[in-house]
Structure 1
Amino acid sequence: MTPPRPLRADAARNRALLLAAAADEFAEHGVEASVADIARRAGVGKGTVFRHFPTKDDLIAAIVLDRVEALGRLGERLLSAKDPGAALLEFLTEAAHQRQQRDLSFLQESGDALPAVVEARTRMFATIHALVDRAREHGALRDDVTGTDVILLMCAPNHVTGYVPDASPDLWQRYLAIIFDGLRPEGAHALPQPPPAL
């Protein structure tokens, strides 16, 4: 099968503008955001939107895929970092920061069934397991913490701050620090239950 040709520079730029504009519109107005408003925000015509994304579901799936792939690429780069503990913290910080900028978790369900999203998320989860294994082997992580534990904790800093009215936009950093202290081996106590299987 012939791989798809790369987009021309202007088409690639328009696609990136559309994804950013759509993410902003969905963050502000939910899934009811109109294609016309997304096009206006991106500075392109509606026809350009539909050339790249024939339906709104295609656009939502592309946003989800874009976010998952970006985190996956970061994780893969961090696998070669000299300090595995710092690398894991950098990954978790970027994951929380990405969500803080635009909480689009409500879009996840729309993209979850797309094979490309499933494949990208599977790769990202494998990378997280590798980051966790490296940190554990270098003594930066407690022995009983698994990649699955870390995957489940990724959204926690932002989830917690969602319960605080008028929270500081940087409050998530407090809870990420608490989580990361809990992942470190210093002063760790045995966990009462094994990790879930995902």
Structure 2
Amino acid sequence: MPARRRADAERNYARILAVAEEQVAAHGVNASLEQIARIAGVGSATVRRHFPTRRELLEAVSRERIEALGARARQLIDSEDPRNALIEWLNEVVAYSVAARGLAAVLAPDDTAPDPAHVNSCSGILDDAATPLLQRAARAGAVPASVTLSDLLMLIAGIAMATEHHPDAAAQAGRLFRLAVDGLSPLG
């Protein structure tokens, strides 16, 4: 969001964002941009002026949740057990991703962007906040050093997208995430 806008542009931005939050919650990432514009009382060009891509709109809708997840990662950094702290945080990301339709798409990498690190600000917020949590778990031997936060977020995005239409998406996503954490082979 630019630092300074006209008052009417600020009102339009806020109205579009509020409507987009409702529409994404109801319809997921495929919420109609034209419907958002219509309900917000603006033209579709106004929506596109504020949010040139669907992904930018989804990031704006998800920003508050993403910032809360970042804050939670920072809270957990000094936990006694680095593995449990990482798993606890990842469980919260799974829960958010399932509850907030559209968030999983924001977490997934955008291969069409020229520089995803700069385009996907939500992933950047999480990366800055949670990479130290992951690195601490890796130093403790709880996860392989080759695992990146991007790997984990992609896994969670995949789980959330795969369970989106399940009758009990939260339970199914939690079960699949535990399966990924525990692995396929029983410990012996």
TM-score scaled to structure 2, two decimals? 0.61
* Aligned equivalents of 1:125, 1:25: Cα separation in 2: 28
Pick closer, same or farther for the CA change 1:56–1:142 going to 2, 3 Å. closer
TM-score with structure 1 setting the length = 0.59
Q: Secondary structure at the match of 1:95?
A: helix
- The match for 2:74 is 79
Structure 2 equivalent of residue 4 of structure 1: 3
Computed over aligned residues only, the root mean square deviation of the Cα atoms, in angstroms, reads 4.3
Residue in structure 2 matched with residue 194 of structure 1 by the alignment: none
Contact persistence 2:59–2:121 (CA under 8 A): no
For structure 1, the 5+ residue unaligned runs are 189-198
Aligned residue pairs: how many? Answer: 173
Please identify the structure whose Cα radius of gyration is greater.
1
Q: CA deviation at 1:156?
A: 3.9
**1:176 maps to which residue?**
177
| CA distance in structure 1 between the aligned counterparts of 2:166 and 2:58, rounded to whole angstroms | 27
Matched, 1:61 2:56: yes
More displaced, 168-177 or 97-106? 97-106
Deviations 1:28-86 (A, max 9, x none): 8x36x252x22455xx3125x75564276445422135536743652354234232434
Deviation sequence 1:79-106 (CA, Å, 0-9, x none): 3423243432243223323332314666
Unmatched runs of 5 consecutive residues or more in structure 2: none
The secondary structure found in structure 2 opposite 1:19 is: helix
Identity of aligned residues (%): 18
8 Å Cα contact 1:99/1:158 also seen in 2: yes
